[in-house]
Amino acid sequence: MKRVYIAVAVVAVLAWIAIGLLVAKGPQPEIVVPAESLFKVGPLHVTNTLLTAWCVMLFLAIFTFLGTRSLKLLPSGFQNFIEGVVSFLLDQVTDIAGERNGRRFFMVVGTFFLFIIVSNWGGLLPFFNAIGKTEDVGHEIFAQLASDNPHKLVLTKDGTYDDGHKFAGAKTDKSGGVVLTKSGAKAIDFEVRKGDTPAEALDRYVVFLAENFAGFKPAHSLEEPGPADPADVKAAFTLLGTVDAPGTAAKAPRLTTEAPSEAGEHALKSAALGQSFGGVSFAESQKLTLIVPFFRGVYSDVNNTLALGICSFIIVEFWGFQTLGFGYLKKFLNFSSPINAFVGLLELLSEFIRIISFAFRLFGNIFAGEVLVLMLTFLMPFLFVDIIYGLELFVGFIQAAVFALLTLVFAVMAVEHHGEEEHHGDEASAEAHHPSGTAQAH
Amino acid sequence: MDKAVEALGINLPQLIAQVANFFVLLVILRFTLYKPILKMLDERRQKIAEGLNAAETARAEASQAQANIQAQLDAARKDGQDIVANAQTIAQRIQTEAREQSARDREAALERARSEIQMERDRAIADLRGQFADITVTAAERVIRQSLDRQAHQRIIDETLAESSFNGN
């Protein structure tokens, strides 16, 4: 009997995986490290991570407001939960920092914890990285190549690109508007290489388009170094112009010769074809676009983790000065002996290195988790992804706890007395020495 | 460095926005979460402490009352015992007195009886003495009146005695 059960279980699991691969396969992930900009307000690009951060804040504000609106002495239900969370945090903090300092540090540490954990767990919701607006990469590449001052490429004075850039996209049937990522969509990348001139890049783009949209087989792969083979470019251009039978709906993109309409752009002359082009037009059902998700894990963006690290730094230093006054600087500027001076220097450096380690610990964990989930939805939807989701829940909690606790520990270290002449360390003497500092604390 | 910054997409406005976000959230949560919850937790802790104190007081009072009741019971029992003992003493005394009284009464009665008997006897003796004197006088008269010889004497006395009512009673 047991064997039968095992056999049935194995078959069920395999069937489940097979169903997943057939119906729920994610698109080939386009891993974009910087957060994608959704719209712009003044100098601020509102990226999807920033939007998500605002949503998390709104959620926390509403959730806690509703939860604490009518508190009762005998708690029940929702209030139990909220009180449980708060008293769990408070207990942890007072365990480490002591009763008095614990109360003082609690709000900041708790905010770090709640902000990070809600962001991390929220980032696992299904609509994250799945619903977004599309960005028309096909047109954008040409516009960047034709632009006098492209913002994604660096054009040097001698007319070559100083730095390569990979334009990521996927073949989709429409661009613009809100879309859901398509199951099994294939990612295609076009790379502008360092040292390319715009004309050379355009040649490669022509071959690239023919290869991906018209089934063109180049004699020399685009992966090869150096400019594209002129024969390939010519063949590709001819194919793009002739693959669609006249009268039928167009499928392949075409290069157009009209002058570009955008300001700051000029017609682009191809090196191999010796012809100028003003734009590229894509057929209605065949477009090269990149889906920019509306929501993305808040801490899969270095800006946000770095900002939290800076907040932690600012607050810890503030507490240090508040408690010890300028005596706080003694830790860093200690010239009683060369060794102490060196140690002080290291201490000072470590204060700043903390910001970096805070930022990259959180970013690395969350970004890697996000990539892992995206990759696995593409490779093995169902089952394996579930396991990774469990892991991600754990990682999300651990990272929040680590961030909050490290901030707490640094804060405790910062408000501690040190140095030879006042080696008390206990609270009473801290108060006695700095009545003004501790008075502000309350 | 610049390349790394660009590749990671670090830019100042977003950094500032996110720092601001954190402090905004800190302020929001301070008012919507921490303050009310901490207040409630403290309030509850205080209420519980008060409750425990009250319970402690009540327990102390209860044990005090218990002790009081016990003391009163003890006192009452002692009083009762005293009363009983008193009553017994009194009863004893009454009994003794009664016994003494009755003894005295009996003694007195006896004394009275004895003195009455004495008086009775004295009166009888006096009576007897009187009668005997009369008889003696009578007998003497007769003796004097008749000439007396020995035999006549004895006959007169016997006659006198026989005539008197004093016949050995």
pLDDT reading at A37 higher than 90: no
CA-closest candidate to residue B4, choices A354, A163, A394, A81: A163
Of the two residues A149 and B26, the one the predictor is more confident about is B26
Length of chain A: 442
Q: Which residue has the higher pLDDT, A358 or A74?
A: A358
Helix (H, G, I), strand (E, B) or coil at A172: strand
Cβ neighbour number for residue A195 with a 10 Å cutoff: 15
Q: At a CB cut-off of 8 Å and minimum separation 6, what does B7 contact?
A: A33, A34
Res A264 pLDDT > 70: no
Beta carbons of B22 and A307 less than 8 Å apart: yes
pLDDT at A427 over 50: no
- Is residue B168 assigned to a domain? no
What pLDDT, in 10s, does the model give residues A329-360? Answer: 888 887 888 888 888 889 899 999 999 999 99
Do A229 and A300 meet the contact criterion of CB atoms below 8 Å apart?
no
Lookup: tokens for B155? 């006959």
Q: What is the pLDDT along chain B (169 residues), one digit of tens a residue?
A: 677 777 787 888 888 999 999 999 999 999 988 888 888 888 888 999 999 999 999 999 999 999 999 999 999 999 999 999 999 999 999 999 999 999 999 999 999 999 999 999 888 888 888 888 888 888 877 777 766 677 777 887 788 888 776 555 4
Local confidence band at A435 (pLDDT 50, 70, 90 cut-offs) = very low
pLDDT of residue A243: 66
**Phi/psi at B53 (5° precision):** -60, -45
Mean pLDDT to the nearest integer, A353-376 = 91
What mean pLDDT is predicted for residues A178-183? Answer: 70
The CA distance from B32 to B2, in Å, is 41
Are the C-beta atoms of residues A312 and A243 closer than 8 Å to each other? no
B86 close to A (CB below 8 A): no
**pLDDT over 90 (residue A405):** yes
Q: Which helix (H) or strand (E) holds A135?
A: strand A131-136
In a domain, B125, yes or no: yes
First-to-last C-alpha distance (Å) of chain B:
173
> A215-236 pLDDT, tens per residue?
777 777 777 777 777 778 888 8
pLDDT-derived band of residue A237, with 50, 70 and 90 as boundaries?
confident
In this structure, chain B runs to a length of 169
Residue B55 lies in a domain: yes
Domain count of the fold of chain B: 1
Taking any CB pair shorter than 8 Å as contact, residues of chain A touching chain B are: 33-35, 42-45, 47, 50, 53-54, 57, 60-61, 64-65, 67-68, 71, 73, 75, 82-83, 86-87, 90, 106-108, 110-111, 114-115, 163, 301-304, 306-308, 310-311
The nearest CA of chain A is from the CA of B68 a distance in Å of 38
- Dump pLDDT digits (tens) for A93-133: 999 988 888 888 999 999 999 999 999 999 988 888 878 88
Q: How far apart are CA A190 and CA A167, in angstroms?
A: 5
pLDDT in tens, B9-46: 788 888 899 999 999 999 999 998 888 888 888 888 89
Q: What is the DSSP letter of A223?
A: T
Domain layout of chain A by residue ranges:
37-127+297-441, 132-293
* A275-302 mean pLDDT: 80
Instruction: Give the mean pLDDT of A308-315.
Output: 94
Interchain CB contacts (distance < 8 Å): A and B: 116
What pLDDT score does A279 carry? 76
Range of the domain at B114: 2-163
User: What is the rounded distance in angstroms from the CA atom of residue A111 to the CA atom of residue A90?
Assistant: 12
Considering only CB atoms, B21 lies closest to which of A57, A71, A163, namely A57
Asked whether residue B105 is assigned to any structural domain, the reply reads yes
Confidence of residue A432 (pLDDT cuts 50, 70, 90): very low
Q: How confident is the model at residue A441 (pLDDT cuts 50, 70, 90)?
A: very low
pLDDT cut 90: percent of chain A above it: 26
Measure in Å the smallest separation between the Cα of B44 and chain A Cα atoms. Answer: 6
For residue A363, what pLDDT is reported? Answer: 94
Strand partners, A293: A132
pLDDT (average), residues A321-334 = 85
Higher per-residue pLDDT: A67 or A255? A67
Which residues does A357 contact at the CB level (< 8 Å), separation at least 6? A309
Of B9, B19, B23, the CB nearest to A302: B9
Task: Note whether A45 contacts B11, CB cutoff 8 Å.
Answer: yes
